[in-house]
Chain A
Amino acid sequence: MRELRAGYGHTRVLHGIDFAMEPGSITTLLGANGAGKTTTLRALCGMVSTEGEVRFSGESIVRRRTEDIARLGIAHVPDGRGTFLNLTTEENLRLGAYVRRDRRNVEPDLERVYGYFPRLRERRRQQAGTLSGGEQQMLAVSRALMLAPKLMLLDEPSFGLAPLIVRELFNILRRINQAEGVSMLLVEQNAAMALELADHAYLIETGRMVLAGSAAALKQDDAVRKSYLGY
């Protein structure tokens, strides 16, 4: 059984965040711009200086390097997607599987990923920089999937995408979560859609956790409704 617990204080942005994740669940971190959501994800990946404790699968990962954390099975889809623009779509995907030891599962996984995102198969030999925003987001998620991760971190996947595409993407995320049991931590400004997708939710304001609970509960919460759901 895996449990992710993060409790830390980050002097500049995060002032003591505590939360835990159930394995196989989808959790979302909500909050306005600058609240510290992206920083939380970056802290989990060792991309910013962090104090406190972060445990994954019973191990502490708090002062490890980003690449070592990835090798533990945490796949981070960064904001801005982090696509390798000058490489082809397929090269991007293969890079996702670069550290995997189970070499013979890579090809079937590639097929499965193309199954989730058929448009990527059409564009497999195209330069990734020529893909549309939505396609690049799909590519980013797929690259993360190719890692065969236990946990996926997604930073604002809906950013800059049309609502229809976001819905399509989130549906696929739910399929992936249910079919493969990948835990997901979703950072989102688009609270409505995130709360539809997630099981659990946390609300961050100016570096502090202010609300926690099941997604359903937060959807009903008055404060959340007024500030983040607009009604």
Chain B
Amino acid sequence: MDALLFQVLAGLATGGIYASLALALVMIYQATHLVNFAQGEMAMFTTYLAWSLISAGMPYWAAFFITIALGFALGALIERIVIRPVENAPVLAVVVVFIALLVILNSIAGWIYTYTIKAFPSPFPKEPLFGIRYMSAHELGAIGITLVVLATLYLFFRYTPLGLAMRAVAQNPQSSRLVGIRVGWMLALGWGLAAAVGAVAGMMVAPIVYLDPNMMGGILLYAFAAALLGGIDSPMGAVIGGFTVGVLENLLGAFVIGNELKLTVALVLIVGVLLVRPSGFFGSVHVSRV
């Protein structure tokens, strides 16, 4: 029983990270109908930026918020400069551009920071909080931060005019133009927000898996699985999917198939969801008219 609880709680912690990354993926998909294969590398890169700031002596939380801002800027820039030219291009061209982005970010990180693994600090104390034995303080903190980010985003989209405009653009870009919304800038904003969310996810996961240019590969895969499970165009689905996948990963790993085949599990999940229920649990079903 103890072991089960332990795995579930640890699963929630990693699940929060999957949820954040999945949410970033869904935000971009909703606005553009594109899958951002480079989301993981963007998060990794911003985490390295945070590391640079902290290594230069900046206190953690200052670096944290500045990194979020930098991530935002990076995302918006990438959308304007790299993605805009291929927004309406055939699928293969778009996929190639995303993969190229992945590869470029990965290699720039490797070039600047080398491939040696680095430790990344956690803002939370080493001793478990509130005497809870089942989770480290960092894991608890990570869940907390994730929830704060999600709540902030929810409030932003629901109750601010800018959030409303972004929702409008995601649903109906043409009508948005008719009311004067600058659709291009909204897309850049969406990318910026997604990148910022990814930055938080990266900073939360780095203390656990250690900083390395290739650290996000498996995590991205799980985020994809989570996003698909929840519904690739449903933000709420992404969050629920994320926590579900996190717990599932830990339970399966501890009690069923061992820790060696985690990525295969993600693969099976992805293919399974795509074949059986492509719209996920909370997404909208697409009917293509012939």
CA distance A147 to B168 in the complex (A): 16
Taking a contact as CB atoms under 8 Å apart, the answer to whether B171 and A70 are in contact is no
CA distance A144 to B92 in the complex (A): 39
In the complex, the chain B residue whose C-beta lies closest to that of A46 is B177
Taking a contact as CB atoms under 8 Å apart, the answer to whether A96 and B175 are in contact is no
Taking a contact as CB atoms under 8 Å apart, the answer to whether B182 and A95 are in contact is no
Taking a contact as CB atoms under 8 Å apart, the answer to whether A98 and B171 are in contact is no
Q: Is A84 an interface residue (CB 8 A)?
A: yes
By secondary structure, the B interface counts as helix
Taking a contact as CB atoms under 8 Å apart, the answer to whether B175 and A67 are in contact is no
Taking a contact as CB atoms under 8 Å apart, the answer to whether A67 and B164 are in contact is no
Q: Is A25 an interface residue (CB 8 A)?
A: no
Q: Is A87 an interface residue (CB 8 A)?
A: yes
CA distance A65 to B182 in the complex (A): 9
Instruction: For chain B, give the interface size range.
Output: 10 to 19
Taking a contact as CB atoms under 8 Å apart, the answer to whether A94 and B164 are in contact is yes
Instruction: For chain A, give the interface size range.
Output: 20 to 34
Taking a contact as CB atoms under 8 Å apart, the answer to whether B180 and A70 are in contact is yes
What residues of chain A lie closer than 8 Å to B168, measured between beta carbons?
A: 84, 87, 95
**A84 touching B172 in the complex, CB below 8 Å, given contacts A70-B177, A91-B164, A95-B165:** yes
CA distance A98 to B183 in the complex (A): 13
In the complex, the chain B residue whose C-beta lies closest to that of A83 is B175
Shortest A94–chain B CB gap in Å is: 7
Shortest B136–chain A CB gap in Å is: 40
Mask, A93-107, CB within 8 Å of B = 1, is 011101100000000
In the complex, the chain A residue whose C-beta lies closest to that of B182 is A67
Per the 8 Å Cβ criterion, residues 33-62 of A in contact with B are 45, 47
What residues of chain B lie closer than 8 Å to A94, measured between beta carbons?
A: 161, 164
Per the 8 Å Cβ criterion, residues 18-73 of B in contact with A are none
CA distance A86 to B164 in the complex (A): 11
CA distance A45 to B175 in the complex (A): 12
CA distance A87 to B176 in the complex (A): 12
CA distance A99 to B176 in the complex (A): 11
Q: Is B152 an interface residue (CB 8 A)?
A: no
Taking a contact as CB atoms under 8 Å apart, the answer to whether B179 and A70 are in contact is yes
Q: Is B138 an interface residue (CB 8 A)?
A: no
**A82 touching B180 in the complex, CB below 8 Å, given contacts A87-B167, A94-B164, A98-B161:** no
Taking a contact as CB atoms under 8 Å apart, the answer to whether B179 and A147 are in contact is yes
Shortest B218–chain A CB gap in Å is: 34
What residues of chain B lie closer than 8 Å to A68, measured between beta carbons?
A: 180
What residues of chain B lie closer than 8 Å to A207, measured between beta carbons?
A: none
Taking a contact as CB atoms under 8 Å apart, the answer to whether A147 and B180 are in contact is yes
Residues of A within 8 A of B (CB): 45, 47, 65-68, 70-71, 75-76, 78, 82-87, 91, 94-96, 98-99, 143, 147
- Ranked nearest first, the 9 interchain pairs of A and B with the lowest CB-CB distance are A99-B180, A70-B180, A82-B175, A66-B177, A71-B180, A67-B177, A76-B178, A67-B180, A95-B179
13 contacts between A and B (CB under 8 A): A66-B177, A66-B178, A67-B176, A67-B181, A70-B178, A70-B180, A82-B172, A82-B178, A94-B161, A94-B164, A95-B165, A98-B165, A147-B179
Q: A67-B180, A70-B180, A98-B180 are in contact. List 19 more A-B contacts (CB 8 A).
A: A67-B176, A67-B177, A67-B182, A68-B180, A78-B174, A78-B178, A82-B174, A84-B168, A84-B171, A84-B175, A85-B172, A86-B171, A87-B171, A94-B161, A94-B164, A95-B165, A95-B179, A98-B161, A147-B179
